[in-house]
Structure 1
């Protein structure tokens, strides 16, 4: 009888070690990022320059996210304050853990936007930023023009690939959230 208990204990110990090894490999394996998208060539267009503020853009973002939530694709929120803040939750084992990611936005010369990760809060757990970004990327369906890049700790927003009505295109000219100075150029194709 003692031999059976020893074998059962060794079998259970082996199973636990295998599970821990699998979890460690999954957590610490490198994350593959997609390359940054290339800007699409510009068509002949009429340009309209728009200056906005955080309050108005928060309303636009909220409306967009609410439409996506109605389709069942998203369960996160984005707010513009002195930084861009992304709120959501991720599944860890059988629990849902809330997180908050803070980003510093940067308008690129090609009109697209990079959100560089600046802060992270994940429940009471201190997880690597790349892990949380990867978990968010895998858990939610973001639009095609939003690329989450965990290794670089950033989100790339291809405004030139965003689908708007009447083939309208948008380019970010300036994003200074601390001064509440946000400027875009809207391009309406004439061809």
Structure 2
């Protein structure tokens, strides 16, 4: 009986060591990086300039997030404050662990948006940004127009590739959350006759 207990203990210990090794190796492997997406060519369109604020944009973001969460195992919410804040929780074993990611948004000349990572907190622990972004990119399905780039610590949002009703396209012109100054251009494609 004593020998069986010792073998079971050593087997369990070996399994734990293997799991920890696999986790460490997975975290230390180099991160494969994709280049920034190319902006889609602009077709002829009628332009509508929209000035907005964080409160109204939070309502729109909530609608998009609710649609995306319906097909996801991850629970999260996105809020615009003085920076973009993403809150959520993830299941680890039998517990739920809270996380918070903060980003600084930037409207690019091509109308797309870059979210530059400012901080990540899981529970009470600050974690390395690139590893967490890599884990998120590898573990979850994001829309085609969202690219997570761990080496650069950014999330690239290709607004020009986002599919909206009536083939409507969106271009970010200015995003200054601290001044609550947000402007977009809506592009409605028209046929040239």
- TM-score band by shorter chain is 0.7 to 0.9
Distance 1:30 1:100 in 2: 24
- 1:130-155 CA-partner distances (Å, limit 9, x unpaired): 22222333443321111111221110
TM-score, normalised to structure 2, is 0.86
Distance 1:88 1:124 in 2: 14
Structure 1 range deviating more: 152-161 or 138-147: 138-147
The equivalent of 1:43 in structure 2 is 43
- 1:135-180 CA-partner distances (Å, limit 9, x unpaired): 3334433211111112211100000000111111110000000000
Give 1:28 deviation, angstroms: 1.6
Distance 2:73 2:43 in 1: 32
Distance 1:2 1:167 in 2: 71
Aligned in 2, Cα 1:71/1:16: closer, same or farther, shift over 3 Å? Answer: closer
Runs of 4+ in 1 over 4 A off after TM superposition: 1-16, 71-74
Aligned in 2, Cα 1:93/1:159: closer, same or farther, shift over 3 Å? Answer: same
Q: How does 1:53-92 map to 2 (within 5 A)?
A: 53-72=53-72, 75-92=75-92
The equivalent of 1:144 in structure 2 is 144
Unaligned runs of 5+ in 2: none
- 1:66-115 CA-partner distances (Å, limit 9, x unpaired): 22333456521100000000112234454331110000000000000000
Unaligned runs of 5+ in 1: none
Question: Secondary structure of 1:163's match?
Answer: coil
Number of equivalenced pairs: 191
